[in-house]
Amino acid sequence: MERKEFIKKFAYAGSILLTAPVIFSACSDGDEDLVPDDPNEPGNDLTIDLSSSAYADLGTIGGSVYENDIMIFRTSESSYLALSKICTHQGCTVAYSHENGDVLCPCHASRFSTSGNVLNGPATTSLKKYNVQKDGDILTIS
Ligand code: FES
C-alpha cells in the first residue's frame, strides 16, 4: 500500500469513527420521543372524563374510544375495560366488538378476549391490560 493510499484510508476510517456516536445518539433521542408515557408508571395515570363529548362513545354499552395507545371500551352498564390498542402481531390497531364479545385485529384477523388473551393467531402474545377505576364521571386508567 502506498503512503498516499494509506493516508486516504486512514482519513476515511477516522471520519466514520468521529461521526458514528453523533448518528447513534440522534437515533436514540428520536426513538425515546416516540414512546408514549406508560399509564403503569407512577404519576402517569390516564384520566377520562365521561361527561366530555370526546368520550361520548363510552356512553353506550359496546362503545369504545382510543386514547394514546390504549383502547377503552364499555362492556356493560357499569363495566369499562382498557387494553393496549396495538396488536402484538405486527402493531395494527385492534377494535372491540360488543356483539362478538372480543377484540379483533383487522390486519391478519388475530382475535383477543376482553381480558387481552389471544383466542386466535397469528398473534401469540396477549394485549396489555390496564386497570380501570370509575369514580362518578371519571375513569382512571393505570
Ligand atoms: S397485526 Fe394484528 S394480526 Fe397481524
Q: What is the pLDDT of residue 18?
A: 44
Cα 74 to ligand 1 centre (Å): 23
Give the DSSP H or E segment for 138: strand 138-141
> Is the link from the previous residue into 39 a cis peptide, with omega within 30 of 0?
no
| Residue 110 Cα: closest atom of ligand 1 | 3
In a domain, 8, yes or no: no
| Residue 87 Cα: closest atom of ligand 1 | 2
In a domain, 98, yes or no: yes
| Euclidean distance between CA atoms 111 and 103, whole angstroms | 6
In a domain, 4, yes or no: no
Burial group, residue 34, by CB count within 10 angstroms (0-12, 13-18, 19+): exposed
Model confidence over 47-86: pLDDT tens digits?
Answer: 999 999 999 999 999 999 999 899 999 999 989 999 999 9
Give the DSSP H or E segment for 20: helix 3-34
In a domain, 5, yes or no: no
Ligand 1 pocket list (CB less than 6 A): 87, 89-92, 105, 107-108, 110, 122-123
Model confidence over 108-126: pLDDT tens digits?
Answer: 999 999 999 999 989 999 9
Residue 46's nearest CA partner among 65, 26, 22, 63 is 65
Query: The domain that contains 113 carries what CATH number?
Result: 2.102.10.10
DSSP state for residue 55 in the 8-state scheme: G
In a domain, 88, yes or no: yes
If one counts the domains in the chain, the total is 1
| Residue 121 Cα: closest atom of ligand 1 | 3
Residue nearest to atom 3 of ligand 1 (CA): 108
Residue nearest to atom 1 of ligand 1 (CA): 90
Cα 70 to ligand 1 centre (Å): 16
Domain coverage including residue 55: 46-141
Model confidence over 3-55: pLDDT tens digits?
Answer: 666 556 655 554 544 444 444 444 444 444 444 456 655 457 889 999 999 99
In a domain, 115, yes or no: yes
Residue 101 zone, left/alpha/beta (φ > 0; ψ -120 to 50; rest):
left
Asked if residue 84 lies in contact with residue 69, where contact means CB atoms within 8 angstroms, the answer is yes
| Euclidean distance between CA atoms 58 and 69, whole angstroms | 17
In a domain, 81, yes or no: yes
| Euclidean distance between CA atoms 84 and 105, whole angstroms | 12
